[in-house]
Homo-oligomer: A and B are copies of this chain.
């Protein structure tokens, strides 16, 4: 996934996406749990834009979520095309905070946040928060 040329540092990514049938519930709207997956899909696309994979095979660190939230303003329906914009809100020693916005054309659909922390996995499976490796942290810039 890493291109030869050094990728630019990133602070924001907009993912275009279409609502799939299996994401819609019996009320005819996207089930609320899907918005957390949409936000994460955009986050991972942001990492790829930075020349990174958030879950590289053999990686010593991982990035589980420590909190997530979403406010739902308008529903999405089957086959709607929408955008998920993820922005880097803060990068600290061990954590990254993202703000997310879901829109369909000019309509605000949802707003959310993801807080992820860098962890190292012990041999017994326990996870310990550690500093984000410099070659990862250096790729992200807080959005204006």
Query: Interface residues, chain A, CB within 8 Å of chain B?
Result: 1, 20-22, 24-29, 31-34, 36-37, 40-41, 44, 48, 53-55, 57, 62, 64-72, 75, 77-79, 121, 125, 127
Contact = CB atoms under 8 A, between A and B. Distances in A.
Nearest to A45: B18
A41 to B, nearest CB: 5
30 contacts: A1-B79, A20-B37, A20-B40, A20-B41, A22-B25, A22-B33, A22-B40, A24-B25, A24-B26, A25-B26, A26-B27, A29-B64, A32-B40, A32-B65, A33-B36, A33-B40, A44-B79, A48-B79, A53-B78, A53-B79, A55-B78, A64-B72, A66-B71, A66-B72, A67-B69, A67-B70, A68-B69, A68-B70, A69-B69, A77-B125
A82 to B, nearest CB: 15
A72 B65 contact: yes
Contacts of A48: 79
